[in-house]
Amino acid sequence: MARYEEHPADMRADYTIDQHWDQYTPEEHAMWRALFERQSKLVAGRACKEYLDGLNGLGITLDGIPDFERVSDLMEKRTGWRLVTVPGLIPEKNFFEHLTHRRFPVTYWIRPPEKMDYLQEPDVFHDLFGHVPLLVNPIFADYMHAFGEGGLKALKLDALNYLGRLYWFTVEFGLINTAEGLRIYGSGIVSSKTETVYCLESPIPNRIGYDTLRIMRTDSRIDALQETYFVIDNFEQLFEATRPDFTPYYEKLKTLPDIPRGQIAEGDIVLHRGTGVAG
C-alpha cells in the first residue's frame, strides 16, 4: 500500500496508476504463490469450466504477481478487454466508465501475510484470480461491458443500490448449474478459501434460481459468508435476463420492500433451503 502513497502524482484523472511490476518484493510474490497454490487446488472441481478454461493461458500462474500488461495482451486478443492498474476501490462512475471501454480495474497491492485468509477490500489476488478468467469468456465479457453502461445509467437514475446487488449476487457471488452439479463463477467466492467450499457444500445457505428483480430486492452484506446464493443455468441466461432496459425495474423496486438476505420469498425457485444455522 505504501508504494502508492509514495507516488501520489502518478495517479491519472481516471484513477489509474502504473503497476511498477519491478517493485514487488520477494515477500509479495511469495504471498501470491501461497494464495495461488491454495486456491487453485480448491477451485479445481468447484469452479465452472468457463472460469477454469479462462485461468489457463492468461499468464496467471503460480510464478508470482503477474505483469498486467502481459495479461492484457493475451486478454485483448480474445475478448478485447485490458487491465488498468488502480490503487484500490475507485469511485463508481470511474469504475463503470472503465468497463464501458473494456478496461478492468485491478488493484496493484497484495494483502499482508496476517490477512491471508480474509480481506474486506479487493487486492491483486482477488481482482486477478477472481475476476480476470471469466473476462476471456465471450458472453461474460459482453455482460461486464453491458454492466458498465448499466452502471452509468443506474447512477443517473439514483438506482445504484439495486444494480450493486445484481453485481454482488452474480459477478461476485454467483453459482451456476451444470450437468456435473453446482459450480462457482463468482469472483468473491473463488478468491476465498472458506467460501469456495461453503457455498457448494454447506447446508446453511439458501440456493435459489436466478431472478433479476428478486436479486435487486435482496439485502446483501459484505462482511460474512452469504446466506443466499443465486444460481444461473448458463451465461446466455444471465446475459438475456439483463438485456432489457432496467428503468422500469428501478421504478417498481422503489415501491417494493427489501427481502432480508436469509429469507425465502414467494415465487423463489428453491434449489436448496438453507438450514440457516452454523453446526
Q: Is 245 in the site for ligand PHE (CB under 6 A)?
A: yes
| Nearest distance from C-beta of residue 141 to Fe ion, angstroms | 16
**Does 162 help bind ligand PHE (rule: CB under 6 A)?**
no
Could you tell me the smallest distance in angstroms from the CB atom of residue 181 to Fe ion? 25
At how many degrees (to 10) do helices 92-100 and 138-156 cross?
140
**242 is an interface residue for ligand PHE by CB under 6 A:** yes
Q: Which helix (H) or strand (E) is 100 found in, with range? A: helix 92-100
Q: Which is nearer to Fe ion, 88 or 209 (CB)?
A: 88
Q: Please report how close the Cβ of residue 168 comes to ligand PHE at its closest, in angstroms.
A: 12
Under rule CB under 6 A, residue 140 binds ligand PHE: no
CB 186 within 8 A of CB 134: no
CB of 127 to Fe ion, least distance (A): 6
68 binds ligand PHE (CB under 6 A): no
Closest C-alpha among 109, 104, 95 to residue 164: 95
Give whichever of 99 and 189 is closer to ligand PHE, judged by the CB atom.
99
Nearest Cα to 99, choosing from 73, 131, 129? 131
Rule CB under 5 A: which of 185-244 touch Fe ion?
A: 187
Classify 174 as helix, strand or coil: coil
Write out the binding residues for ligand PHE, residues 1-60 only, by CB under 6 A.
none
Q: DSSP of 64-85, one letter per residue? A: SSPPHHHHHHHHHHHHS-EEEE
Nearest to 1 by CA among 84, 81, 115, 96: 115
Say whether residue 266 binds ligand PHE (CB under 6 A): no
246 counts as binding ligand PHE under rule CB under 6 A: yes
Count helices and strands (H / E) in the chain: 13, 7
Q: Identify residue 275 by its one-letter amino acid code.
A: T
Measured from the CB atom, the residue of 68 and 95 that comes closer to ligand PHE is 95
Stretch that binds Fe ion, among 69-77, 94-102, 116-124, 142-150 (CB under 5 A): 116-124
The interface with ligand PHE within residues 142-161 (CB under 6 A) comprises: 143, 146-147, 149-150, 153
Decide whether 187 or 228 has the Cβ nearer to Fe ion. 187
CA–centroid distance for 192 within its chain: 11
Q: Which residues of 220-238 are buried (b: 16+ CB within 10 A; e: fewer)?
A: beeeebbbbbbbbeebeeb
Distance CA 279, CA 272 (A): 17
Binding site for ligand PHE (CB under 6 A): 143, 146-147, 149-150, 153, 166, 242-246
Chain positions contacting Fe ion, by CB under 5 A: 122, 187
